[in-house]
Structure 1
Amino acid sequence: MLLVMYIVAIVVEAMSAALAAGRRSMDWVGVCMLGCVTALGGGSVRDMLLGHYPLVWVKHPHYLLITAGAALFTIAVARVMHRLRKLFLLLDAIGLVLFTVIGCNVALEMQLPFVIVIAAGLITGCVGGVLRDVLCADIPLLFRSELYATVSVVTGLVYVGGLQVALPHDLIMVIAMAVGLTLRMMALRFNWSMPKFVYTQDLH
C-alpha cells in the first residue's frame, strides 16, 4: 500500500512541476527534468546529506521513467488540469506527509539522533518543491508563510514520538499521516499561515 501511495505521490509532484514548467514556457526536456527533480529531489538531497546510498532513483531507475512520463502526460492534458485542482491539493498533501514518514524511516534505520530524524523527514517532504521553485525563479513555498514545512515537522514529531513510546508502527504511521494531512487541509481551507517578517527600513 505504501508503495502505491509513493508512486501516486511522485506522479502528482511531477505533474505539478510540469505545470510550473509550462508557466515558464520550458521545452519538453525542461518539463521532464523539472518533473523528475521535484518528485525525487527531496529524497536525493536527504540521501546525499546522510550518506545513504544508492539514491532511490539509482536503485529503482523506473522511478525516473514514471516521473518523466507523468510530466510529459501533463502536457497532453494541461487544458483540463484546472478542473482537478482540489484533487491535486489533496494528493499533494498526502505526498507531503508520506514523504516525511519515509524520510524519518531512512534516518531511523541509520540510527541517527532525534533532531536529524525530524530534519530528514522535512528535507524529504519539502526540498523537491524548493528545487522546483528555485529552478522556476520563484520564492520557495517553504520560505513563505503558508503552513507546509510546519505540517512536515508536526507529522515527523507525531510519528517519531509515537515510536519512542512503543506504539505499534502501523498505527502510529496512520495517526501521524492523518494528523499532518488534516493540518494541511485545514490550513488550505482556512488560510492558516505562519507570522511574516517584514522589514522595509533603509539602513542608509
Structure 2
Amino acid sequence: MVLFGAFPMYPLPPSESILFVIYLVAITAEAMSGALAAGRRNMDIFGVAVIAFVTALGGGTIRDLILGRFPIGWTQNPEYVLVVIAAGLLTTLIAPFVHHLKRLFLVLDAMGLVAFSLIGCSVAAGMDYPTVVVIMSGMITGICGGILRDVLCNQVPVVFQRELYASVSLAVCILFLGLDAWGVDTDLNTAISFAGGLTLRLLAIWRHWKLPTFSYQDRWD
C-alpha cells in the first residue's frame, strides 16, 4: 500500500508520478497562500519566507516528528525548500494580480489537501502503524500546514470555521484504507481516492457545506 516516502529522484509508477506532480503544485500553491497571509499582517520578507515554508511543509514535518520518521522528508529533498521559498517571494511581486486567480487557488488547494492526506496515510502505513494512527497521519499532513500559518498570523485557523476541510481529509483517508482492505490495486485506489476527495472538497466549496458550529457566551452576571 505504500505510495512513496520522500519522493526518490528516479522514475516512479504512474500513481506516484501523478501524485508527485500534484505534490509540487500543491506545495507551491500553499507557499503562495502563506505569503499572502503574511502580507495581510505586514510582515517583512523574512516573515513571508517563513510563513510560506511553514504552510507548505509544516504538515509533513509535524507528521514525521510525531511518527518518529527520521530524517524528516524535506531535509532529504532540499529542492522543496527552494521551491516554496521562491514561490513565497514571487508572490510578493504578483500579489496585485492574485485575486484574479482565486478560483484556481481553491482548486489547487483542494488538490493539495487530498494529495497530502494520501501521502500521510501512505507514510504511516509503511511504518506499520495502527489504522487510527494512519488516518491521523493523513489528516495531520493535510491540514496542519494551514493551521500553523493561521496561528502564526494570529488568526483562528480556517480549517476550524469554514467549509468542510478536515472532514474531507478524514473521508479521503478512510476511503483509501477501505479500498486497500478490499484488495483494490494501489494505482486504482489512489485514483479513486483522489478523485473522490477532490470532488467532495469542490462540492463543499460550491454548496457551502459546513459542520454544525458551537457558539457559547459565558454569562455569569
Q: What is the TM-score normalised by the length of structure 2?
A: 0.90
Per-residue CA deviation, residues 114-151 of structure 1 (Å, 9 max, x unaligned), is: 10000000000000000000000000122224200000
Per-residue CA deviation, residues 71-130 of structure 1 (Å, 9 max, x unaligned), is: 000011111100000000000000000000000000000011010000000000000000
> Which residue pairs with 1:124 in the alignment?
141
Does residue 1:113 correspond to 2:148, yes or no? Answer: no
In 1: Cα distance, 2:162 partner to 2:93 partner? 33
> Which residue pairs with 1:79 in the alignment?
96
Matched to 1:194, the amino acid is L
> Which residue pairs with 2:12 in the alignment?
none
Does residue 1:28 correspond to 2:45, yes or no? Answer: yes
Which of 155, 163, 173 is the matching residue for 1:156?
173
Question: Which aligned runs of 4 or more in structure 1 are off by greater than 3 angstroms?
Answer: none
Matched to 2:67, the amino acid is L
Deviation at 1:62, TM superposition (A): 1.1
1:32/1:68 contact within 8 Å kept: yes
Deviation at 1:201, TM superposition (A): 3.8
Q: Percent same amino acid among aligned pairs? A: 48
Which of 65, 68, 80 is the matching residue for 2:82?
65
> Which residue pairs with 1:46 in the alignment?
63
Per-residue CA deviation, residues 35-57 of structure 1 (Å, 9 max, x unaligned), is: 00000000000000000011111
1:145/1:195 contact within 8 Å kept: no
Task: Give the aligned CA root-mean-square deviation in angstroms.
Answer: 0.9
Cα 1:96–1:82 change in 2 (3 A) is same
Per-residue CA deviation, residues 126-177 of structure 1 (Å, 9 max, x unaligned), is: 0000000000000012222420000000000000111111100011111111
Secondary structure of residue in 2 paired with 1:125? helix
> Which residue pairs with 1:194 in the alignment?
211
Structure 1 unpaired stretches of 5+: none
